[in-house]
Structure 1
């Protein structure tokens, strides 16, 4: 018999969701079977799949030891990652990091352990704020993602309650994220709200954009304003607000209206990219504002606060523009 004592980061979860993370080797069909057979109990009593766990609850598992074998990893992957981070803001609940271009946020097909989340977990481990051996189902986690070749602000939750609140706020679009980008060509309209129709192609990993609805398409809305112009090189610096959040939205939408991003290998102009020796899209998520319209619980203190990256590589290089 194994016993788990539910801590603050585990509380509020359904029994099945908790066990999927706490005992990952236990197949779901057996999990459900053992619940029916009362081989999984909470506080000595029968529980259901939907039972919500509370802090201090004791879960007893009368299941084979084989499902717990290897439960303590030899060496967590995050310990192989550096601890170097560009931290914009940190408190007891969250970290805001300025992710530089070239760093992935999570492990991908390359198999590299040098990811943003691994760096953050290693950093918190060194500070004594994250002890994986004391956690049953939680690890510090990212609340938003940015592509490898895009830089900008990424939010990490240090505890389960902050993760729950922020995931909901992101879903409800109660966070404003502004981007900076460089377009090849200077838009005639110095500010605009663009609407088009978007569809992702999983085979080519690109998107199709049209001014008219088509089967399978979804509406996308992009707002921009021109901040600076480099007329000699025919480049413009834009601030962009995503009203919707579609795959490659900024890159594809601006290319669709005739102003592709400098350095963009998928939607841009390779001849121009080579001429400027720019090998990644000039795109940066540079400003984050918390705009809560519903209760944020323990994170209410963040409401109305804005955070901004101070140095974006293409601003001064092409425009002499300082943030």
Structure 2
């Protein structure tokens, strides 16, 4: 329990406004819930109205967890972010988040606070599903590049995380991307195959036709959705999931992604005012075989984002 005395500066203020400051941004739904349950008292009396006007000298008794009164630290940095992703699907085990381009999925040297991971933590915290030290911290099951948008899978509990990671490893989770590439592909449908070698120093991968030490095979099925003189809107389905796979393979085939600053053509990118690669994780299909598991109910289900930002360019 925390106790406060209303000073002259707070005379006449609403109860919910002052509590929001004292708790460093307690989510309104939780605040109203605590008021209804009598977890906040003014001068010893339960007050359930958020708009109750306070007077100087009033005594507040807050029967809330200490965590609500602590300033955000590196461990609870999620309290400093606002969820801005779209929820594609959610249940008690998983959450499918539509990440916007430019948002990191996990912290790196440049950004340690505002990440998709932190936004999901804040989203579940606001809903009362995540309590640090008490509940499982939501964990990402897959990653996409900072400037690639689209679906990322998060697990809400340990059994769901372990099973989803295993099903991804067994290629039972199919990921389909939309992208805009330069030029017209020679065939409406096809498969890109090759061996990707990653140069960590340059943060770049190279595509070869034959195996070599350190290289990994990459397979991508594609289908042209529509095309004009300069651009093609392409659906790409990953068979393997390698770093920069779609970007590197289409570039190696002579059709780099529009907006790609690493593998693309900068003059064309500038002409179309496309500041990042036109690549979006649009669809996830759970192709689980018959069996058991905490996530077996997802078998055969397919989820898509509502709209791809760049699809009207073609």
**TM tier relative to shorter chain:** 0.7 to 0.9
In 1: Cα distance, 2:111 partner to 2:181 partner: 33
Distance 1:220 1:83, change over 3 A: closer
Structure 2 unaligned residues grouped into runs of 5+:
1-69
Distance 1:283 1:215, change over 3 A: same
Normalised TM-score (structure 1):
0.72
Q: Deviations over 1:125-157 (max 9, x none)?
A: 11111111314xx31111011111000101111
Q: Secondary structure at the match of 1:152?
A: strand
Cα offset, 1:89, TM superposition: 0.8
2:145 aligned with 1:147: yes
2:266 aligned with 1:270: yes
Partner of 1:236: 232
Partner of 2:204: 206
Query: What RMSD over aligned residues (CA atoms) do the two structures have, in Å?
Result: 1.6
Partner of 2:157: 159
Structure 1 unaligned residues grouped into runs of 5+:
1-72
Cα offset, 1:242, TM superposition: 1.1
Cα offset, 1:246, TM superposition: 1.2
Cα offset, 1:296, TM superposition: 4.7
The answer (yes or no) to whether the contact 2:85–2:100 under 8 Å persists in 1 is: no
Partner of 1:180: 178
In 2: Cα distance, 1:160 partner to 1:74 partner: 28
Q: Size of the alignment, in residue pairs?
A: 243
In 2: Cα distance, 1:134 partner to 1:267 partner: 45
The answer (yes or no) to whether the contact 2:98–2:305 under 8 Å persists in 1 is: yes
Q: Deviations over 1:102-139 (max 9, x none)?
A: 1111111113411111111111111111111314xx31
Name the larger-Rg structure. Answer: 2
In 1: Cα distance, 2:132 partner to 2:103 partner: 24
Cα offset, 1:306, TM superposition: 0.4
2:82 aligned with 1:82: yes
In 2: Cα distance, 1:239 partner to 1:287 partner: 10
Normalised TM-score (structure 2):
0.74
Partner of 1:216: 214
Provide runs of 4+ in structure 1 moved above 3 Å: none
2:287 corresponds, among 284, 291, 301, to 291
